[in-house]
């Protein structure tokens, strides 16, 4: 049974759309574009974008709630200053022009890094750089329809492509035209009932992929049921009224689902490990030998029977969806468990979660984690992540959290940039994705675990929690070394040696072994605390708060009225009484006596950071040291080494680290 239309959809009857593209274009050109204030305006109207949705809905006879719902799932109504998304989409409606947007996009990582991170198997650089360069072509010669919707919108509206990219009101018109055309192509009238637009919404999201389109449409209708209201990145207040009884037209749902359920792709999708409410397909990574005693690109295992899955690592691909799927099929390349597409949230699974993918650059983390790549770039060209991808990713992470009992906090849901180096030598080469522009606060809200205060100022801890849109620290190096990055909302706060913005940034002696100060480089994580991370309070001075960080006191600006952290409480580790300092490790390997004959001892290498007496670090988990020995293609030679040494994972700095339980006392913060 369909729900009734909201009141604003009942005001007039909308006749069926029966216009040619030329007629539509002529009509649109008569409509004033309200999204861009005049050059002489003192204050931009904060309701201009809301009015643009109303005007576009009326012009193209699309229910306003449908237009708002689709736009929310694409961009959360943000315009991003005309910058493209990671899949080349522009504006609130995410009209795609990938050829233009990604012309200057950096390539995917070269594959010569050691994503496995295991000393037991010598790292080999791939021997075919020319072939790999060709394989990393940024975009295919023929773009799929989902990457070129802006040209279609330009044809339907008669508006220039540049205007559709940069003018929010024009962009909304283009999206409305696409929805109306999709409705007409299926012989359906431009109904005032939002329930009857299900198929058109599905087509808008996926441009022909029935499984991905259905998942996209289901998410849009969930947004419409719940309702949303927010202030955009341009200061526009937009509201979508809730319609809790709204359900899509049952006949349209059935027709859209039936072909996909009978397809070979759907059969393969049923073999994937994904929640039921996402679109998921199988794109297997190869497990094969390729000569000279080498193999790739992951290891067979039997998790959680042999090892616990205790973390999930969030990556971005630094390349397009098409390029990423080519690379995962290369046995000489690295691997990860899942990739998520930006345009519609389609998920591809590559490596079963019971097996160990080579993604984090730290073998201990790999052995105990699942890696999820997200189509996108951490910095350039100011590429933003769609709401469809955030939501699909959150659904997948919640599913994996339940399956493996992984806590939903920032010491178990890690960014690749939070993974520690295995040894001192590997620290400078560790990856920095998804970077300071990934919206951890929004992501954890979608996970159902928003970051809130759990104590007063006596709790002893803080959870980093800046307002993403307002928090815009200066970064350099997004496109060229040293060049300033465009202003952008950020998830991170900067750390100083004293309570002053003029004080030097704190040093990371692992990242800068020459003793140099940390920098504002977008890939320099040495003086950065990120949303959701928790630290022990080391002092307060007016509008500044200090935390214990990499063995030193680090200060961040935390002004009254615009706090960037909230108070918290929990367990902390501090050096045992009588110890002046204790070592930190990048992996929790067992002691030497635990290794049987035939399994080489893996040294528990000390990192260059020292934790001094009186310092406290938030505890993320307790584990007994283990090591997965898997240097050969022959799984009969694999082994799990379990030791007696016990470790705690701690929030060391921007990255996590490990300390021996024998070296620390664990107690409640604030005690």
Question: 642 is written with which tokens?
Answer: 């379990």
Q: Where are the domains of the chain?
A: 10-37+44-101+150-262, 267-436, 453-569, 574-668
Average pLDDT by stretches of 10, the chain with 671 residues: 38 33 38 41 79 97 98 96 87 91 55 76 54 48 85 97 96 98 84 95 87 93 97 95 96 75 57 93 94 88 96 91 90 94 94 97 97 84 81 98 98 97 95 93 98 96 96 89 88 97 97 94 96 98 98 97 96 97 97 96 94 97 96 93 97 98 96 78
∠ CA 117-123-127 to the nearest 5 degrees? 135
Which of 536, 633, 624, 641 minimizes the C-alpha distance to 588? 624
- The DSSP code sequence of 533-546 is -EEEEEEEETTEEE
**Residue 128 neighbours by CB under 8 Å, 6+ apart:** 332
Annotation: CATH topology of 267-436: Lysozyme-like (3.40.80)
* CA 9 to each of CA 12, 51, 57, 63, 195: distance values in angstroms, whole numbers, following the listed order: 8, 15, 10, 6, 11
Question: Cα(225)–Cα(244) distance, rounded to whole angstroms?
Answer: 4
Q: DSSP label at 620? A: E
Kindly give the pairing relationship between strand 571-575 and strand 664-668.
Answer: antiparallel
Backbone angles phi, psi at 456, to 5 degrees: -90, -170
What H or E segment, with its residue span, contains residue 568?
A: strand 565-568
Measured CA to CA, the distance from residue 59 to residue 42 in angstroms comes to 29
SS3 at position 112: coil
d(CA 141, CA 252): 34
Output phi, psi for 565, to 5 deg. Answer: -150, 155
The model carries a pTM of 0.90
Q: Residue 12 carries which DSSP code?
A: S
Cα–Cα distance for residue pair 152/93, rounded to 1 Å:
13
Structure token digits, residue 651: 């929030």
Apex 122 CA angle, 116 and 126, nearest 5: 75
Q: Do domains 10-37+44-101+150-262 and 267-436 have the same CATH topology?
A: no
Residues 146, 147, 150: CA angle, nearest 5 degrees: 95
The residue to which tokens 């802006």 are assigned: 150
- Give the largest CA-CA distance in the chain: 83
Q: 280-282 and 347-349: which strand pairing?
A: parallel
Joined tokens for residue 317: 């691909």
Q: Find out whether 622 and 569 touch, Cβ atoms under 8 Å.
A: no
CA–CA dist 393, 26 (Å, integer): 41
Instruction: Classify residue 577 as exposed, middle or buried by CB count within 10 Å of its CB (0-12, 13-18, 19+).
Output: exposed
| Cβ proximity of 66 and 14 under 8 Å | no
Token pair 């994705």 is at which residue?
Answer: 433
The total number of residues shown for the chain amounts to: 671
Q: Give first-to-last CA distance, the chain, whole Å.
A: 57
Structure tokens at 54: 């109303």
**Three-point CA angle 208, 210, 214, nearest 5°:** 120
Query: 10-37+44-101+150-262 architecture in CATH?
Result: Orthogonal Bundle (1.10)
């Amino acid at each position: 049974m369909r729900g009734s239309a909201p009141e604003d959809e009942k005001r007039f009857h909308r006749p069926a759309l029966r216009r040619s593209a030329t007629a539509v274009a002529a009509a649109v050109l008569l409509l004033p574009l309200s999204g861009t204030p005049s050059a002489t305006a003192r204050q931009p109207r904060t309701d201009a974008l809301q009015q643009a949705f109303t005007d576009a809905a009326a012009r193209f006879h699309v229910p306003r709630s449908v237009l708002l719902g689709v736009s929310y799932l694409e961009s959360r109504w943000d315009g991003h200053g005309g910058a493209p998304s990671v899949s080349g989409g522009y504006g609130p409606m995410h009209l795609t022009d990938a050829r233009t947007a990604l012309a200057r996009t950096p390539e995917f990582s070269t594959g010569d890094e050691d994503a496995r991170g295991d000393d037991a198997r010598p790292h080999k650089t791939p021997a075919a750089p020319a072939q790999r360069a060709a394989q990393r072509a940024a975009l295919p010669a023929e773009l799929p329809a989902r990457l070129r919707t802006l040209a279609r919108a330009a044809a339907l509206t008669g508006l220039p492509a540049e205007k559709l990219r940069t003018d929010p009101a024009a962009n909304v018109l283009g999206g409305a035209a696409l929805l109306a055309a999709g409705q007409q192509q299926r012989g359906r009238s431009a109904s005032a009932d939002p329930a009857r637009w299900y198929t058109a919404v599905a087509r808008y999201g996926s441009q022909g992929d029935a499984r991905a389109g259905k998942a996209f449409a289901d998410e849009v209708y969930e947004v419409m049921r719940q309702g949303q209201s927010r202030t955009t990145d341009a200061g526009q207040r937009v509201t979508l009224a809730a319609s809790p009884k709204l359900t899509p037209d049952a006949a349209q749902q059935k027709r859209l689902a039936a072909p996909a359920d009978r397809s070979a792709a759907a059969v393969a999708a049923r073999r994937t490990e994904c929640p039921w409410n996402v679109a998921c397909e199988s794109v297997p990574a190869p497990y094969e030998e390729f000569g000279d005693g080498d193999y790739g690109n992951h290891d067979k295992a039997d998790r959680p029977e042999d090892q616990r899955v205790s973390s999930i690592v969030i990556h971005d691909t630094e390349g397009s969806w098409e390029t990423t799927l080519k690379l995962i099929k290369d046995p000489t390349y690295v691997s990860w468990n899942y990739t998520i597409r930006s345009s519609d949230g389609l998920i591809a699974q590559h490596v079963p979660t019971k097996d160990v993918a080579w993604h984090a650059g730290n073998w201990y983390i790999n052995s105990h984690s699942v890696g999820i790549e997200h189509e996108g770039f951490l910095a350039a060209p100011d590429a933003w992540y769609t709401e469809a991808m955030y939501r699909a990713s959150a659904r997948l992470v919640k599913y994996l959290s339940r399956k493996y009992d992984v806590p939903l906090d920032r010491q178990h849901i890690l960014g690749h940039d939070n993974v520690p180096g295995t040894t001192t030598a590997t620290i400078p080469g560790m990856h920095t994705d998804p970077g300071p522009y990934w919206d951890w606060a929004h992501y954890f809200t979608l996970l159902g675990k928003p970051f809130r205060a759990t104590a007063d100022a006596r709790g002893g801890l803080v959870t980093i929690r800046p307002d993403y849109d307002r928090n815009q620290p200066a970064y350099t190096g997004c496109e060229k070394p040293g060049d300033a990055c465009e202003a952008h909302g950020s998830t991170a706060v900067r750390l100083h040696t004293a309570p002053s913005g003029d004080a030097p940034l704190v040093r990371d002696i692992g990242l800068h072994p020459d003793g140099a100060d940390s920098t504002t480089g977008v890939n320099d994580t040495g003086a950065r605390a990120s949303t959701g991370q928790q630290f022990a309070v080391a002092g307060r001075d007016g509008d500044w708060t200090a935390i214990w960080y990499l063995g030193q006191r680090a200060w961040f600006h935390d002004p009254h009225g615009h706090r960037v952290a909230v108070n918290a409480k929990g367990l902390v580790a501090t050096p045992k009484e009588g110890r002046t300092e204790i070592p930190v490790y990048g992996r929790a390997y067992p002691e030497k006596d635990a290794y049987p004959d035939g399994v080489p001892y893996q040294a528990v290498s000390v990192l260059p950071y020292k934790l001094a007496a009186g310092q406290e670090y938030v505890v993320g988990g307790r584990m007994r040291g283990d090591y997965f020995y898997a240097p050969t293609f022959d799984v009969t030679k694999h082994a799990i080494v379990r030791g007696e040494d016990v470790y705690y994972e701690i929030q060391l700095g921007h990255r996590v680290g490990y300390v021996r339980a024998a070296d620390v006392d664990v107690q409640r913060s604030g005690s």
